[in-house]
Amino acid sequence: MKKIFIPFSIIVFSLMISCSENPKKDTQLEPAINVQLNGSFTDKNESYFTSSGKIEAANSANLSTRMMGFVTKIFVTVGQKVNEGDLLLSINSNDLTAKKAQVDAGILQATAAFNSAKKDYDRFVNLFQTQSASQKELDDMTARYEMAKAGLESAKQMRNEVQAQFSYANIKAPFSGIVTNSFVKEGDMASPGMPLIAIEGMKKLQVSTMVSEQNISAIKNGMLVNVLVKSLNKMLLGKVTEVSLSAKNTGGQYLVKVNLTESDPTILSGMFVNVQFPIQNTALNPQKNDKVLVLESALVRQGQLTGVYTIGEGDVAILRWLRLGKTFGNQVEVLAGLTANEHYIIAADGKLFNGAKIKVSK
């Protein structure tokens, strides 16, 4: 029997052809996957620039005292809700009590002196009218009366001063809110100007952010903006209420404050946000036209590589690897790998892979 030898290279070549044809044939037989492109909806975040900021209470205060003394009692704890006028902290006021007693005694003494001087003054006025007293005697009695009157008024003002100091010995809430911090403990020495209790009003929240000089001209007082809370991934509506026109003391950045128009119990003071300022005229931000932004949800990550699915010839999905830059809200800047006019897939009804047959949903 005659044996026929087939070269090994021909066998390998045949296997390569069969392996390459089978996947293509299977891919063509699979139904097309419905996908959505970035151009199939209106991207509201397309014309904006982003600035980082932090949520804070519109009403906040670090309460302190003008007197020195030991903290005798703290009536609140951190996180406790308080109403306007509630007593928060008291400071030892024994010296004020003693001073008040002295002032009260001084008022009694000044009142007695004033009453005596007034009686003498009235008597000398009658005597002068009947020519029983000289002008000099009346002048001396008038001076004594005026001095006694001034002494009584001075004693009363001292009492007002002591009563005012008592208000610094009993620290009360200036507005309704939440106690956010306590800087002292019972028994600590309180001194003038030292913060004791921090309180914030939670009814109205605002965002403070710093904007560069390239973008400050696009911000107007009263404009509406979107505020993205990073930790909660929530988008809120805000309104610009303050725009600083000087960057002298802020390192070249301009302070902008935004009031949140929505109330949400999950939004807390101190959370970091991204404020999205809309750009009505792109000429205000010439760098905007050079940026290519893609939705972060459309990114595909494999190890250290990141890309998006684009449309290839024959309506197939092609995985395009990208080099990314900064993040702007829910979008990421593309530095290389995609042009501004190219469409990419943002959603699919099935699992995408390189070369999968796709159908664009309208």
234 with 84: CB under 8 angstroms? no
Q: Which residues pair with 74 in a beta bridge?
A: 89
- Per the structure block, which two tokens stand in for 301? 């990550």
CATH 2.40.30.170 placement within the chain: 48-57+202-282
Q: Quick one: what percent of the chain has pLDDT higher than 70?
A: 85
The CATH number for 94-169, chosen from 3.10.580.10, 1.10.10.10, 1.10.287.470, 3.40.50.970, is 1.10.287.470
C-alpha triplet 72, 75, 80: angle, nearest 5°: 150
CA torsion through residues 36, 40, 43, 47, sign: positive
Of 20-24, 139-143, 293-297, highest mean pLDDT: 139-143
b vs e for 129-168, b when ≥16 Cβ sit within 10 Å of the residue's Cβ? eeeebeeeebeebeebbeebbebbeebeebeeebeebeeb
List all residues 6 or more positions away from 226 whose beta carbon is below 8 Å from its beta carbon: 45, 48, 235, 236, 237, 238, 275, 276, 329
Q: Are strands 197-211 and 189-190 parallel, antiparallel or unpaired?
A: unpaired
Q: Give the CA diameter of the chain.
A: 172
* CATH (residue range 48-57+202-282): 2.40.30.170
Q: What pLDDT was estimated at residue 295?
A: 82
pTM score, two decimals? 0.51
Q: Class of the 65-92+170-197 domain? A: mainly beta
Q: Class of the 32-46+290-360 domain? A: mainly beta
Cα-Cα-Cα-Cα dihedral of 83, 89, 94, 98, to 10°? -30
| Mean pLDDT, rounded, of the chain | 81
Q: What pLDDT was estimated at residue 286?
A: 43
In this prediction, residues 174-200 reach a mean pLDDT of 91
Please check the confidence at residue 277 and state whether its pLDDT lies above 50. Answer: yes
